[in-house]
Structure 1
């Protein structure tokens, strides 16, 4: 053995997880609950982007922004309105305090107390069943890749010389931007644009397609109309030709159709999507196939190496934290016990945290039309007809219910106050294959926003009365209202 060389320590375990974000942490805890030995490898802060720099910081920012908006619009409730004084340094301190309060649940000490071994190292496969973390070799029966993602920065002339922020760094600002330009009209870009607009910052949002293009067009149009009424400058179907300047003085040349023009701002936020963090894993050594930066996976998240699975953003999923945690639990079952759940997709809600919120679960109307042609119905009910919404002064939006002609619920969409909370009722209904008549039997407190569910299914039942045989069956089972 040459001087300075030494034998690397080898750890043998049931499951090795690469990545300590929400998915990796959920997978580690699920595996320990099953009695498996777990090694978790994370080179950066435990909790990942979501906890330390991403969604938690964005939600803290949005909460402050909503308070500011409520102060400006207080006259709608009979209170004298005033322009809030916003201190970005104190806002930054608030964001950091929220993150710090959540940190203990993702700490190495907390995980170690659960019997999870944590290695703060960079992990890289050296063969099909061994990973090297620092100077430690980990040989595991199964591996789960949960390395998350990184911001995608488009290849636009000038980007290499211009300072810009990403959704992970924008909350570091301690001084108010003079004019924020946001590239990307997805849910992250649009939610952050609204937050900074409400914090007193002029905001221009540029999207090369239509903002919130993945959402039901009926729901997203209400949100976009609201944001433009608040003062957001939205430039849809617009590409960026070039960027130049310095922080405090940034210029972009943009193109809409055949027209080119220059726009300016003081700060630039790039929210144009994300890419999986898989390039440094040594995939070739592990026999893992990938194409165009995406892992090749089967329906259960297994790679071309039968020992290795992937979850979350590393697997190409763009879902939120709750969806990643759910996938983590399922993947651990597959990896450790060979328990393959049904291929039918679970009813996982998708929420866009603008104000008003958008929430969807199951099929959208467009999905239902493609899959079921005309064999479904759509029923709507407005928040403006709900007592609680009127009392709160939040009457924008509605709920829509998509029901198969056989009676079971295919999907639901909500745009309005607390849509992300209300959508859970429909997620349960879809998961349990309930009908609108089953939801009629819910007793909901008054006044409550959730009364919109009762009003919606009552409307449905008036148009499509419950068949006699179903009511008799409900009577027999003791399910009468």
Structure 2
């Protein structure tokens, strides 16, 4: 179907709608699809690619290139199973084609055509508020009962001297490379930096990762250490506590001036990736005209995701807070309940899982140990179980890692951290436990298939009762009862 893209010189056409969504990423598309299928009239503005950052520059391509890297790593390490394979030959052009093919396979689900077939009016243009109830763009003027801003975020570019005149990549451009970087320099040791460091190292590139604080500083220290050891073992050079002071270079050669422990050093590479955080996409929206408060972190919202303009919601990355695709999707469900059904709905972020998809993976939900200890002190009990005590992990030789569960003495689960094989899948159990306020005993008494990695969580939960079950008091009771035959 033909998309609405009239000549900008024409007079604006007026459209009325129940909901106007600004941004065609995961959150915006979820609102648009849900609302139109429930009978609401919906207009959707998207100035870039449908599917947003997740499909085109983030979750999907990063997991696709990670999968390619894992395939190469598997070939290199097959000898541990008694299988001899030749060293993998990486054709980076074909890796690029693989990434693009994965994106192309998902694109139809997020396409303009699909949403127009659902009944959404799609306008491929920048949307700008002209007043509190009106948005204009692409030759159209839209008045709606409710608006949803879902414009996401982009790579934050730090104020490093020389960076503006040197070539650099972000997550929006690195997947365009058709030739493998000789030496990739990465500024930022968060999830994006770690994932792309591992992927490119596994595919044969030299990689240096520079982090101003510590690797994965927002995660559990012990869990981050497992990943730190892994990255070093595969050959990634790590510079933690190092600040990039200056950048210089031209196409194919980059030099960083780095300060670490009070000393200056130069780090040379062929390509530079900036992965130092995210910034909300709020430019061009005309938020002031709509009376919408915002700051550096994004648009200010209340617990129901409403902005200071009560007719306007903001969801996902642009609303600040947790920047994950699954959070944007969750926010979409909150908005639909509130905007369409006038039901009181508030976002609860206490059980939002997060995963760094390296191998081993690092996953977390709820409170970190340091957070739980600060809040609950001596009432806290930390349950821990290592992968090396799991038979499936031993069979597959993936024994690096552990689970750590934070509980209170009454069995309430506060948080869980898992680092190891398939941690992103294993964390889902603990997400449900925390969200549904299930006590630790339910996990401990569950029956888990053998041999699976899922037993690791059950064993950790069971350890909650170890001190009681094997205490001198229980021994006395057993001996007493045994006397009666």
- TM-score > 0.5 by shorter chain: yes
Say whether the 8 Å CA contact 1:241–1:254 is kept in structure 2.
Answer: yes
1:91 to 2:92 alignment: no
Aligned-partner Cα distance in 1 for 2:223–2:96:
32
Which residue, 121, 124, 127 being the options, matches 2:131?
127
Question: Residue 282 of structure 2 is aligned with which of 268, 278, 281?
Answer: 278
3-state SS of paired residue (2:411): coil
1:116 aligned to 2:114? no
Which consecutive residues of structure 1, in runs of 5 or more, have no partner in the other structure? 467-481
After superposition, residues 421-432 of structure 1 pair within 5 angstroms as 421-432=425-436
Between the aligned partners of 2:133 and 2:468, the Cα distance in structure 1 is 58
Deviation digits for residues 411-442 of structure 1, max 9, x if unmatched? Answer: 11100000000111111111121112111332
The CA distance in 1 between the partners of 2:30 and 2:143, in whole Å, is: 21
Unaligned runs of 5+ in 2: 1-7, 471-485
Is 1:368 paired with 2:372?
yes
Aligned to 1:38: 42
* 2:392 maps to 1:384: no
Residue 401 of structure 1 is matched in structure 2 by 405
Please report how far the alpha carbon of residue 408 of structure 1 lies from its aligned counterpart in structure 2 after TM superposition: 1.5
8 A Cα contact 1:162 1:245, kept in partner: yes
User: 1:149–1:274: 8 Å Cα contact kept in structure 2?
Assistant: yes
Pairing 1:266–2:270 present: yes
Contact 1:11–1:137, Cα closer than 8 Å, also in 2: yes
2:209 aligned with 1:205, yes or no?
A: yes
Mean alpha-carbon deviation: is it higher for 204-213 or for 295-304? Answer: 295-304
**SS across alignment from 2:288:** helix
CA deviation digits over 1:178-206, x for unaligned, max 9?
Answer: 11100001110111011101111110001
Q: Secondary structure at the match of 2:378?
A: coil
Q: Which residue of 2 aligns with 1:247?
A: 251
1:34-85 CA-partner distances (Å, limit 9, x unpaired): 3222111101111001101222111000001011111111111111143210
Which aligned pairs between 1:140-219 and structure 2 lie closer than 5 A? 140-219=144-223
Is the contact made by 2:331 and 2:347 (CA closer than 8 Å) also made in structure 1?
no
Matched, 1:138 2:131: no
Contact 2:305–2:346, Cα closer than 8 Å, also in 1: no
- Contact 1:142/1:336 (<8 A) preserved: no
Give RMSD over aligned pairs.
Answer: 1.7
Contact kept, 8 Å, 2:317 with 2:324, in 1: the verdict is: no
Alignment CA distance shift 1:102-1:464 (3 Å): farther
Given that 2:304 and 2:346 are in contact with CA atoms closer than 8 Å, whether structure 1 keeps it comes out as no
State the TM-score, normalized to the length of structure 1. 0.93
CA distance in 1, matches of 2:461, 2:154: 42
1:437 equivalent in structure 2: 441
Q: Distance in 2 between matches of 1:193 and 1:336?
A: 44
Match of 1:316 among 302, 316, 320: 320
Q: Does 1:15 align with 2:19?
A: yes
Verify the 8 A CA contact 1:278 1:293 in the aligned structure 2: no
Query: 1:473 maps to which residue?
Result: none
What is the CA deviation profile of residues 136-166 of structure 1, one whole-angstrom value per residue up to 9, with x for unaligned ones? 0110111010011111111112112211111
The DSSP-based 3-state class of the residue aligned with 1:301 is coil
1:279·1:293 contact (CA, 8 Å) conserved in 2?
no
Q: Which moved more, 1:195-204 or 1:6-15?
A: 6-15
Alignment deviations for residues 267-289 of structure 1 (CA, whole Å, 9 cap, x no partner)? 11111111111011011111112
Q: 1:342 to 1:146 in 2, by over 3 A?
A: closer
- The 3 A distance-change label for structure 1 pair 326 and 293 is closer
SS in 2 for 1:264: strand
In 1: Cα distance, 2:348 partner to 2:121 partner: 34
CA offset at residue 364 of structure 1? Answer: 1.1
Aligned pair count reads 463
Task: Determine if the alignment matches structure 1 residue 234 to structure 2 residue 238.
Answer: yes
TM-score (norm 2): 0.92
Greater mean deviation of Cα atoms: 334-343 or 296-305: 334-343
Match of 1:256 among 234, 237, 260: 260
Equivalent-residue separation in structure 2 for 1:264 and 1:148 (angstroms): 33
In structure 2, what is the Cα distance between the partners aligned to 1:350 and 1:208? 22
The separation in 2 between residues aligned to 1:117 and 1:323, in whole angstroms, is 25
SS in 2 for 1:223: helix
Cα shift readout 1:250-276 (whole Å, capped 9, x = no counterpart): 111111131011110011111111111
Deviation at 1:347, TM superposition (A): 1.5
Q: Distance in 2 between matches of 1:5 and 1:212?
A: 49
* 2:297/2:320 contact within 8 Å kept: no
Q: Which deviates more, 54-63 or 309-318?
A: 309-318
Question: What does the per-residue CA deviation read over 1:362-390, in whole Å, with 9 as the maximum and x for residues that have no partner?
Answer: 11111111222221201111111111111
- Against the structure 1 CA distance between its residues 153 and 115, is the aligned structure 2 distance closer, same or farther, given a 3 Å change threshold? same
Q: Which is further off, 456-465 or 188-197?
A: 456-465
